[in-house]
């Protein structure tokens, strides 16, 4: 993940959760550790969802992802399909 996203998430969590932890009597070190653990869990969930659901914004209609053992066969097939359409 990008560093800016990580910094923003940890800053937002610290800004909102640290006063809550302080009101509950949690010291700063323990509060920061709990916020860090929560941020790591959020990052792992975001990475999992990013891998699980492909972005539909950058994919074109009518193209499917095909898994093949022979990469050269797939490349030649796609080049032949492209030349027929022109």
List alpha helices for 24-65, DSSP H. 28-52
Question: What is the spatial distance between Cα 41 and Cα 13, in angstroms, rounded to a whole number?
Answer: 12
pLDDT values of the chain reduced to their tens digit, one per residue, 86 residues: 567 777 888 888 889 989 999 999 999 899 999 999 999 999 888 888 877 766 665 666 666 666 656 555 555 555 555 555 55
Tell me what pLDDT residue 46 has.
Answer: 83
Mean model confidence pLDDT for the chain: 75
- What six digits make up the tokens of 6? 């990580």
3-state class of 59 per DSSP?
coil
Sign, Cα dihedral of 57, 62, 68, 71: negative
Helix, strand and coil percent figures for the chain, each rounded to 5: 70, 0, 30
**What is the domain partition of the chain in residue ranges?**
3-85
Q: Give the closest residue to 6 by CA, choosing from 33, 36, 34.
A: 36
């Amino acid at each position: 993940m990008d560093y800016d996203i990580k910094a923003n998430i940890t800053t937002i969590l610290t800004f909102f959760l640290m006063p809550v932890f302080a009101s509950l009597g949690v010291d700063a070190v323990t509060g920061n550790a709990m916020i860090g653990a929560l941020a790591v869990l959020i990052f792992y969930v975001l990475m999992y969802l990013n891998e699980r659901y492909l972005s539909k914004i950058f994919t074109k209609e009518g193209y499917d992802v095909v898994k093949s053992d022979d990469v050269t066969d797939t490349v030649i097939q796609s080049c032949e399909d492209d030349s027929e359409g022109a």
